[in-house]
């Protein structure tokens, strides 16, 4: 009976240690991701939201509604724009696409 208690205690301790290691690793990866997003210096940010409107300018306060509209806005930026352009997809229902979404560095006009 004493051996069973020792095995049970050792198993519980092992599982607690494993959970702590997993949680620490998860927190570090979340912090690394948040840090990389927070330090990104984008030249332009555009926002898409299911509650937006495609007549909006694509700002945080007035997001566009569809990914295709965001793609159109990004394509029509001035040629002199340098740096990263980030399109943020806000929460909500799933975004329905008619075609496959492809990202390339090629300037599409």
Q: Which tens digit of pLDDT belongs to each residue from 17-47? A: 666 667 666 555 554 544 445 445 667 888 9
Q: Which tens digit of pLDDT belongs to each residue from 49-86? A: 988 999 999 899 999 998 888 888 887 775 566 777 88
Tracing tokens 């394509």 back to the chain, one arrives at 75
Smallest CA-to-CA distance from 83 within 47, 41, 39 is with 41
**Domain shared by 73 and 22, yes or no:** no
SS3 state at 37: helix
What is the number of structural domains in the chain?
2
Smallest CA-to-CA distance from 85 within 95, 96, 73 is with 73
SS3 state at 92: coil
Range of the domain at 95: 41-109
**Domain shared by 67 and 28, yes or no:** no
- Are the C-beta atoms of 44 and 58 separated by less than 8 Å? no
Q: Which tens digit of pLDDT belongs to each residue from 94-105? A: 667 777 777 666
**Domain shared by 27 and 45, yes or no:** no
Tracing tokens 């509209």 back to the chain, one arrives at 69
Can you give the CATH number for the domain in which 84 is found?
3.30.1910
**Domain shared by 55 and 103, yes or no:** yes
**Domain shared by 67 and 92, yes or no:** yes
């Amino acid at each position: 009976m004493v051996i069973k208690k020792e095995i049970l205690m050792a198993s519980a301790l092992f599982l607690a240690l494993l959970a702590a290691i997993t949680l620490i690793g998860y927190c570090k990866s979340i912090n690394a991701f948040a840090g990389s997003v927070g330090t990104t210096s984008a030249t332009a940010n555009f926002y898409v939201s299911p509650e937006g409107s495609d007549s909006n300018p694509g700002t945080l306060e007035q997001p566009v509604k569809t990914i295709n509209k965001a793609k159109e806005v990004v394509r029509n930026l001035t040629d002199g724009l340098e740096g990263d352009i980030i399109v943020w997809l806000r929460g909500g229902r799933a975004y329905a696409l008619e075609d496959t979404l492809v990202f390339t560095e090629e300037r599409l006009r």
